[in-house]
Amino acid sequence: MESLKYHRLQQRLGYTFVDQKNLQLALTHRSHGATNNERLEFLGDSILNFVIGEALFKKFPEAKEGQLSRLRSQMVKGETLAHLAREFAFGECLVLGEGEMKSGGHRRDSILADTVEAIIGAIYLEAGLDSCRDRLHSWYAERLAALSLETTVKDAKTRLQEHLQSLQKPLPEYNIVDVNGEAHAQLFTVECKIATLSQSATAQASSRREAEKQAAAAVLARLGL
């Protein structure tokens, strides 16, 4: 049953691992033990940023650095990677520790996103950069085709900062209000304060950065922006 599950996943990925242990390692979360996919995730993150950056550089020869950076950020962010993982049905193949299994870790965006990066790293180690590039171009084909320079929308933190700068007001203050959960599944509650609002806005997410963005978006909504 296990081999059939892996076989189907590789069909969806469009790549069959020569050594199935590489695939199993890429699917193994750190909650399962010391032998896990963290190193592969680190490698895959670097390759993903390079390959998508290269693709955007070629697709938009007239784009400025800031536009390319925002487009790449949109393509490689955790939410996009989690969507990819769900398209490939990674969840059913993940190797998780007992705690993560009970808490629904196979559905958690951060775990799914990290696993995509680990898979990329594993393909690179086994088959090289050209194979990684080929797979990523295939996985991202529809998303890349749908992009235009008009989609380089600035994130909420940037928009809020630029709005306050235009009014010559102090920049936003972001403070961590609370951190809950185990080390591998933390939730950050962040508060965003600005001088023009008497009441701050808070948001919760699986990373400090994402919580700050959501808190900034809540402030923008209160400002009617």
**Annotation: binding site:** 41, 114, 117
Token output for 216: 């900034």
Give kind and range of the element (H or E) at residue 190: strand 187-193
The residue type of 128 is G
Q: Is 168 exposed, middle or buried (0-12, 13-18, 19+ CB in 10 A)?
A: exposed
Among 111, 125, 122, which residue's Cα sits nearest to residue 13? Answer: 122
Q: Which of 2, 19, 38, 45 is catalytic?
A: 45
Question: Which residue ranges are tagged as binding site for Mg(2+)?
Answer: 41, 114, 117
The CA R_g of the chain, rounded to the nearest whole Å, is 20
Alpha-carbon gap, residue 213 to 207, rounded angstroms: 10
204 beta partners? 189
Q: Which of 100, 109, 117, 210 is catalytic?
A: 117
Helical H segments across the chain, by residue range:
2-13, 20-26, 38-59, 65-76, 78-87, 98-102, 109-127, 129-139, 141-146, 156-166, 208-222
Active site residue 117: yes
Give kind and range of the element (H or E) at residue 202: strand 201-205
Token output for 83: 């969507």
Query: Residues with catalytic annotation?
Result: 45, 117
